[in-house]
Amino acid sequence: MNKVTVLGSLNVDTILRFKRFPKPGETLPLAGKSIAGGGKGANQAIAAARAGAQTTFIGKVGQDQEGEFMTHQLTASGVDDRYVLHSDAANTGSAFILLDNSSENRILIDGGTNQQVSPTDVEAAQEAIVDSDFLVAQFETPVAATVRGFELAHAAGKRTILNPAPATKTVPRELLAVTDLIIPNETETETLTGVAVTDEYSMVQGAEKLQALGVQNVIITVGSKGAFWMRGPEHGFVPAYKVHAVDTTAAGDTFIGALSAVLTPDFSNLAEAVRWANRASSLAVQHLGAQPSIPTKAEIDAAERI
């Protein structure tokens, strides 16, 4: 069983469903509204825990009901929340997810306390970091905190996984220097490298540019098509499982969390881990809501045998 620590965001998601996105000035009725736990960090931690990893979370919530709700979401899935701090300086993060009948989503985020996570907060969780096989982070919390976390992990000989989302054109060199595996989607890859990901050849180009920035292990996720991986000079493409998607909100986060649960620290099983993570993601998109849709290890294993 891998030990995984996730540094990241916690958001309460409000999901608004409708037939199609309204045109400018147009009013349309909702087909449904629901509330669920979310935030890329929390999603990835819950995915890792449900996939079998011993998981710890580093983050921050407000002194509000939403904060209590989010810590409950973590602990209910077996995530250790001892390093989730409570702050009265801001509200717990929130997200508004707009979902149409084609399962395409658009997301608006209020970072709240996620934006208050500091390098000092991360240092307070050093014990968890050095006891982990992997430290996972995204860009929904301040980059300075992630840099410090990755530095602590590397100093202890631990592996780091960076999900550069939301996309940003520049990633600090000092962060890339302590990143062992980077996992962007096709849009984030283009933002980081200038390479438009349209086929496997362009995936190779994009991955090589990421390697040139200092990260030798790369996975580029391409939604319903699958995922491309590169480890040093080796690379390959793992097709996605074909399913009927209902909500793609947590697909990428489920992929990353499940991957971290089964990946070996030397990355020798990268292709196999990508295939297993693809299966986990394919199960998640068949259900509504981010965290409610994330499958357990038993569900992933059972689906693999079909």
Q: Is 235 annotated as a binding residue?
A: no
The 10 Å CB-count burial string (b at 16+, else e) for 177-213 is: ebbbbbbbbbebbbbbbebebeeeebbbbbbeebbee
Q: Is 39 annotated as a binding residue?
A: yes
pLDDT value at residue 306? 62
pLDDT value at residue 255? 98
pLDDT value at residue 75? 98
Catalytic entry in 100, 110, 253, 301: 253
- What digits encode the pLDDT tens for the residues 16-72? 999 998 899 999 999 999 898 999 999 999 999 999 999 999 999 999 999 999 999
Give 294: exposed, middle or buried? Use CB within 10 Å, 0-12, 13-18, 19+.
buried
Look up the CATH architecture of domain 3-20+33-304: 3-Layer(aba) Sandwich (3.40)
Q: Is 226 annotated as a binding residue?
A: yes
Residue 253 annotated among the catalytic residues of the structure? yes
pLDDT value at residue 73? 97
CA 97, CA 13: separation in Å to the nearest integer?
7
* Contact between 221 and 230 (Cβ < 8 Å): no
Q: Is 32 annotated as a binding residue?
A: no
Per-residue pLDDT of the chain (306 residues; tens, 9 = 90+): 899 999 999 999 998 999 998 899 999 999 999 898 999 999 999 999 999 999 999 999 999 999 999 999 999 999 999 999 999 999 999 999 898 888 777 889 999 999 999 999 999 999 999 999 999 999 999 999 999 999 999 999 999 999 999 989 889 999 999 999 999 999 999 999 999 999 999 999 999 999 999 999 999 999 999 999 999 999 999 999 999 888 888 899 999 999 999 999 999 999 999 999 999 999 999 987 889 899 999 999 998 766
Q: Is 11 annotated as a binding residue?
A: yes
Q: Is 232 annotated as a binding residue?
A: no
pLDDT value at residue 297? 97
Distances (CA, A) of 205 to 78, 165, 212, 228: 39, 20, 11, 12
Indicate the domain borders of the chain.
3-20+33-304
Q: Is 223 annotated as a binding residue?
A: yes
- What digits encode the pLDDT tens for the residues 192-215? 999 999 999 999 999 999 999 999
State the sign of the Cα–Cα–Cα–Cα dihedral 186, 60, 262, 247. Answer: negative
Q: Is 140 annotated as a binding residue?
A: yes
